[in-house]
Amino acid sequence: KAGVTQTPRYLIKTRGQQVTLSCSPISGHRSVSWYQQTPGQGLQFLFEYFSETQRNKGNFPGRFSGRQFSNSRSEMNVSTLELGDSALYLCASSLLAGGQGGEQFFGPGTRLTVL
C-alpha cells in the first residue's frame, strides 16, 4: 500500500500570500488530520476530517482552513500568510476517526517558508 503523500514538499511564499497544501491518505483511510510543527511550539493539531466532515479543530485562527474530498484527499489553506506560519505541516491518516485513538500514519510533510 502506498503511504501518505503530501504535495508540495517545499514551498516559499511571502507575507500576505495564501497557500494550499495537499494530502493523499493511505487507501481506505477516511480520517485525515493536519499538524503544524515549529521549533518553538512543537507539534500542534490543526484539524481533523473524517468522511468529508471536520470533526475536530485546534486553536488556530480562521486563516487556517481545510477540506476533505469524497476520495478522502484533503487540502489545507492558509490565507494572509505571516512570518510565524513558517513551519513543517504534517498530514496523517488513520482508519478510525481521531476520537477512537487509533494509530496515525504520517506523510513526509510540507516545509513552508514565509519571507
Where on the chain is the footprint of other proteins (CB under 8 A)?
Answer: 4, 33, 35, 37, 42-45, 48, 56, 58-59, 88, 90, 92, 98-99, 101-109, 111
Q: How far is the CB of 16 from other proteins (least distance, A)?
A: 26
CB-based contact 89:21 (threshold 8 Å): yes
Q: How far is the CB of 21 from other proteins (least distance, A)?
A: 14
Judged by beta carbon, residue 90 or residue 114, the one nearer other proteins is 90
CB-based contact 66:75 (threshold 8 Å): yes
CB-based contact 22:47 (threshold 8 Å): no
Judged by beta carbon, residue 53 or residue 70, the one nearer other proteins is 53
Q: How far is the CB of 20 from other proteins (least distance, A)?
A: 19
Q: How far is the CB of 63 from other proteins (least distance, A)?
A: 19
Q: In the chain, which ranges are E strands?
A: 5-7, 10-13, 19-24, 31-38, 42-50, 53-57, 64-68, 74-78, 87-94, 105-106, 110-114
Judged by beta carbon, residue 43 or residue 83, the one nearer other proteins is 43
DSSP summary character for residue 61: -
Judged by beta carbon, residue 35 or residue 81, the one nearer other proteins is 35
